[in-house]
């Protein structure tokens, strides 16, 4: 059986005896589409030496109208350390021994910049971001030894609407921690 598009264009599709439309398609992941076609995928790199225990070492706030989707986080530590990840911290982030981070666009031809606030540090600099409260811890990560590397792909993705936050805290604060937060912006 053949069905027509209903617009008089002459385009049709075959329907099988099992009532399924027969297609021939090229598929791509949403991540690839956003990076290639929209140029809106980013990595935020940081390298910190936390000021002390329970410090916020990474802060990311979506200021775009589009939703921010965090795909994953890569972490490396110079020694045993526990970090935890939170969503929804509120308050005004104050950079105490920190710096603005400019996320890198992963499409070299894009020219877009990430519409967000991103604080941490680079080159193993001291960091503590204060002024935040609340939020929900959704992941704890135990780094067990020097140069221990972990990558966490969030299978369900982290959805960060406008004015919402993602933060990373350290428990001990006595190691250098390096990391990359992988994210993109897309229409809700």
pLDDT tens by residue, 88-147: 999 999 988 889 999 999 999 999 999 999 999 988 888 889 999 999 999 999 988 777
At which residue do the structure tokens 């775009």 appear? 64
Task: Say if 12 falls within a structural domain.
Answer: no
For tokens 């939170």, name the residue: 86
Residues 136 and 88 sit within 8 Å (Cβ to Cβ):
yes
What CATH number does the domain containing 154 carry?
A: 2.60.120
Q: Is 69 within 8 Å of 186 (Cβ atoms)?
A: yes
**What confidence category does residue 5 fall into, taking pLDDT thresholds of 50, 70 and 90?**
low
Question: What pTM, to 2 d.p., does this model score?
Answer: 0.87
CA atoms of 42 and 182, how far apart (whole Å): 6
Residue at token pair 């204060």: 130
Q: In this predicted model, which residue has the larger pLDDT, 87 or 127? A: 87
Q: Which residue has the tokens 């935890």?
A: 84
133 occurs within a structural domain = yes
Name, of 29-33, 160-164, 175-179, the range with top average pLDDT: 160-164
Question: Is residue 31 domain-resident?
Answer: no
The answer to whether residue 24 is domain-embedded is: no
d(CA 32, CA 22): 25
- Tally of CB atoms within 10 A around 96: 14
4 in a structural domain: no
Mean pLDDT of 40-67: 94
Q: Report the alpha-carbon distance of residue 184 to residue 182 in Å, rounded.
A: 7
Partnered with residue 148 across adjacent β-strands are 77
pLDDT, residue 134, reads 93
Residue 62 forms part of a structural domain: yes
- 71 pLDDT tier (thresholds 50, 70, 90): very high
114 assigned to some structural domain: yes
Q: Is residue 151 part of a domain?
A: yes
Average pLDDT, the chain: 90
Question: How far, CA to CA in Å, does 20 sit from each of 24, 119, 133, 154, 161?
Answer: 13, 50, 52, 33, 37
Number of domains in the chain: 1
| Domain interval for residue 145 | 40-186
Summarised one tens digit per residue, pLDDT across range 11-42 is 888 888 898 888 777 888 889 999 999 999 99
Residue 8 pLDDT level (bands cut at 50, 70, 90): confident
SS3 33: helix
Position 50 confidence tier, pLDDT thresholds 50, 70, 90: confident
Contact of 65 with 180, CB cutoff 8 Å: no
Contact 180, 101 (CB under 8 A): no
Give the pair of three-digit tokens for residue 45: 């790199």
């Amino acid at each position: 059986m053949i069905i027509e598009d209903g617009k008089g264009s002459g385009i049709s599709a075959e329907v099988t005896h099992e009532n399924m439309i027969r297609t021939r398609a090229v598929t791509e992941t949403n991540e690839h589409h956003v990076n290639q076609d929209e140029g809106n995928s980013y990595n935020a790199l940081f390298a910190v030496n936390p000021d002390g225990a329970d410090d916020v070492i990474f802060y990311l706030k979506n200021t775009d109208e589009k939703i921010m989707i965090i795909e994953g986080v890569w972490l490396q530590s110079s020694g045993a350390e526990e970090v935890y990840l939170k969503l929804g911290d509120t308050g005004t982030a104050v950079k105490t021994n920190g710096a603005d981070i400019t996320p890198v666009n992963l499409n070299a031809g894009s020219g877009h910049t990430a519409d967000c606030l991103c604080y941490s540090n680079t080159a193993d600099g001291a960091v503590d971001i204060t002024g935040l409260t609340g939020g929900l811890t959704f992941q704890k990560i135990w780094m067990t030894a020097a140069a221990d590397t972990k990558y966490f792909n969030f299978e369900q993705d982290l959805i960060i609407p406008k004015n919402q936050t993602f933060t990373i805290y350290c428990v001990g604060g006595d190691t250098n921690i390096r990391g990359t937060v992988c994210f993109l912006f897309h229409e809700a």
